[in-house]
Chains A and B, each alone.
Chain A
Amino acid sequence: MDCRDLTALAAARLAGEAGETERRELSAHLATCESCRAEMARTESVWTALGEDADAPVTPEFRRRTLALLEEEMLRSRVRAFRPRTRFARPLAQAAALAAAGSLGWLLARGAGPVPSAANARPAAASTAAARPAASASRSGISPVAAVTAPTDLGTNPRLSNIAYEPPGADGKVAVAFDVTTRRTVSGRPEEPEVANLLAYLVSHNAETAGEKSRAIQLVSEHYGAGLAAPSPEIVAALTNTLKKDANPGVRKKAADALASLTMTPEIRAAFLDSLRSDKNPAVRLVAVDALAAAAKQSPDASTIESLRAKAVDPQENGFVRAKAASALKAISF
């Protein structure tokens, strides 16, 4: 064995990858080579030091969120399996849907008594997603007209959510109810009300995962940060609300970063003071310290200085936050 092979062999031994022969060669070499013994000790110490890094645990909240997401994805994947398989299925489905709608319109216009079964007119390829016949619709209180809504075009792979299944009734027919979401594009300048309201809505309501929410906040930050455009009160409210209430610390920090990029207002200051006082995550509190300190340098205010002072001497506070608050105070002239 050559001294140059020491690190590779030592790592292989520590990783349980060294074979019997290699282990024997290594031991024999170490017995006679002092510098390699020192290198072996250093390699072992690195391997041990890496063990200082604690494992990230799966928290109950992460488990709950992920399992809910997976359940929804499983439902979506099941529905996707009903997609028409042949190139003839889609035109047939469309023709059948038109025929059903036409027949129904004709019967309604004539004031005919019983509404024909939607199932009779539904396309074969979309049979599993078709509506229940009129009798069932009446039973569930849905108007017959609503029950025979034109079938969804599954060929476009729409996103289906809020899915509910009904088992077969006396007629042997099942029902699958769902919401269909469609993609829309809203374009305009960030300060235009329609765009601003949409962004505020995305931040505060409509993100399914922490990643989507973070991206919405990032978008807001890019548009309104550094004074590029004045954020609407709805956007400021959405961000302060996220900073205050979101369960995910990464999202809260993202909201704090976005707020820090905006011009300081009394609402934003109040949100940061609240966050500095009560946010459980030190990374979020650090952003609050930075933002409050930057604003206080321009225009010192009593509540900011008092909060920073309290943090600088709080023995229960994270050391980094404590140090940051102390150095921020030094930089403020008051």
Chain B
Amino acid sequence: MTELEDAGLLERVRRGDTDGAAELFERYAPSLLRFCDRMLSDRASAEEVTQEVFVKVISRAHQYDGRAGVASWLFAIAANACRDRRRRDRRANVVPLDGIAEPRAKGEGIESTLVHAERRRAVREALAELSEEQREALVLARYHGMPYAEIASTLGISVGAVKTRIFRAVETLKARFSEGERSWTAAT
């Protein structure tokens, strides 16, 4: 879908077209949910925040000015919503436990499930060790294939700052995986 079609979709939402909102959901819910899930490390919170993002999009569709792409605008709302949620959770002392809520794939044995869960948990723990800013930039680049310029526009920072955040994130992860190399290798 082109940027023009995205903007048309948002215009339909602005006009109150329910089908437009449903199309926007189908188009962006998977990636926004993935982003929120990695930022919050908790599936249930990620679903709630993704819902909040779409509700905000409906009430703020008229504020979209076309300066950034629709995807950037949506991810910017999601990044802010995740920051708000983490701040609130920190105050309420909520500890996400999603790492162990790994759904079991059909036909997968218990040992294989545990190994997979362990690997996923190791990655989640490593991501959780990054600062919020580093994680936002890295997740957008690594999992969403977003160009640095678009990440900069989404997060409201310079391209140089994006490069620095990703550089620091990768350095932290390299140190982390080097420390736990033995257990990581065993798990993989």
Contact present for B170 and A66 (CB under 8 Å):
no
Q: How far is the CA of A305 from the CA of B176 in the complex (A)?
A: 40
Q: Which of A42, A67, A77 has the most CB of B within 10 A?
A: A77
Contact present for B51 and A319 (CB under 8 Å):
no
Answer whether A250 and B188 are a contact pair too, CB < 8 Å, given A50-B123, A52-B123, A66-B25.
no
Q: How far is the CA of A250 from the CA of B44 in the complex (A)?
A: 5
What is the chain A residue whose CB lies nearest that of B169? Answer: A11
Contact present for B97 and A283 (CB under 8 Å):
yes
Encoded as 1 (CB less than 8 Å from any B CB) or 0, chain A from 52 to 79 comes to 1111111000110111011101110110
What is the chain A residue whose CB lies nearest that of B119? Answer: A52
What is the chain B residue whose CB lies nearest that of A39? Answer: B174
Contact present for B110 and A66 (CB under 8 Å):
no
Q: State which residues 90-135 of B face A: CB under 8 Å.
A: 92, 97-98, 100-102, 110, 114, 117, 119-120, 122-124, 126-127
Instruction: Flag whether A163 is at the interface (Cβ < 8 A).
Output: no
Contacting chain B: which of A12-20, A101-109, A185-193? A12-20
Contact present for A320 and B34 (CB under 8 Å):
no
Contact present for A210 and B119 (CB under 8 Å):
no
Contact present for B43 and A250 (CB under 8 Å):
yes
Q: Report B-chain residues with C-beta under 8 Å of the C-beta of A56.
A: 33-34, 37, 43, 46
Contact present for A74 and B18 (CB under 8 Å):
yes
Encoded as 1 (CB less than 8 Å from any A CB) or 0, chain B from 48 to 65 comes to 101110110011000000
Contacting chain A: which of B2-10, B68-76, B142-150? B142-150
Contact present for A320 and B123 (CB under 8 Å):
no
Contact present for A63 and B100 (CB under 8 Å):
no
- Count A interface residues, CB 8 Å: 55
Answer whether A249 and B25 are a contact pair too, CB < 8 Å, given A49-B184, A53-B120, A319-B114.
no
Q: Report A-chain residues with C-beta under 8 Å of the C-beta of B46.
A: 56
What is the chain B residue whose CB lies nearest that of A212? Answer: B48
For chain B, give the interface size range: 35 or more
Instruction: Flag whether A155 is at the interface (Cβ < 8 A).
Output: no
Q: How far is the CA of A192 from the CA of B172 in the complex (A)?
A: 52
Q: Report A-chain residues with C-beta under 8 Å of the C-beta of B101.
A: 249, 281-283
Answer whether A46 and B16 are a contact pair too, CB < 8 Å, given A250-B43, A282-B101, A316-B110.
no
Q: State which residues 129-157 of A face B: CB under 8 Å.
A: none
Q: How far is the CA of A43 from the CA of B43 in the complex (A)?
A: 28
Contact present for B58 and A77 (CB under 8 Å):
yes
Instruction: Flag whether A47 is at the interface (Cβ < 8 A).
Output: yes
Chain B contact residues: helix, strand, loop or mixed:
helix
Encoded as 1 (CB less than 8 Å from any A CB) or 0, chain B from 5 to 39 comes to 00000000100111001100100011001100110
- B75 to A: closest C-beta gap in Å: 15
Q: How far is the CA of A21 from the CA of B50 in the complex (A)?
A: 40
Q: How far is the CA of A249 from the CA of B96 in the complex (A)?
A: 12
Contact present for A74 and B16 (CB under 8 Å):
yes
Q: How far is the CA of A65 from the CA of B55 in the complex (A)?
A: 12
Q: Report A-chain residues with C-beta under 8 Å of the C-beta of B183.
A: none
Q: How far is the CA of A235 from the CA of B7 in the complex (A)?
A: 47
Task: Select one of B54, B141, B171, B177 contacting A45, CB under 8 A.
Answer: B177
What is the chain A residue whose CB lies nearest that of B115? Answer: A319
Answer whether A7 and B25 are a contact pair too, CB < 8 Å, given A81-B16, A210-B44, A319-B114.
no
Q: Report B-chain residues with C-beta under 8 Å of the C-beta of A316.
A: 110
Answer whether A53 and B97 are a contact pair too, CB < 8 Å, given A46-B177, A77-B59, A211-B52.
no
Encoded as 1 (CB less than 8 Å from any B CB) or 0, chain A from 5 to 49 comes to 001101110011100000000000000000000000011011101
Contact present for A17 and B147 (CB under 8 Å):
yes
Known: A66-B29, A282-B100. 10 other contacts (CB 8 A): A15-B145, A43-B174, A52-B188, A54-B120, A69-B54, A74-B17, A75-B18, A77-B58, A250-B44, A282-B101
Q: 8 tightest A-B contacts by CB?
A: A250-B44, A56-B37, A283-B97, A211-B48, A53-B123, A78-B16, A8-B167, A319-B114
A-B contact pairs, 16 of them (CB 8 A): A12-B163, A46-B170, A49-B188, A53-B127, A55-B30, A55-B143, A63-B29, A66-B29, A66-B51, A67-B22, A69-B51, A70-B54, A70-B58, A209-B51, A249-B44, A281-B101
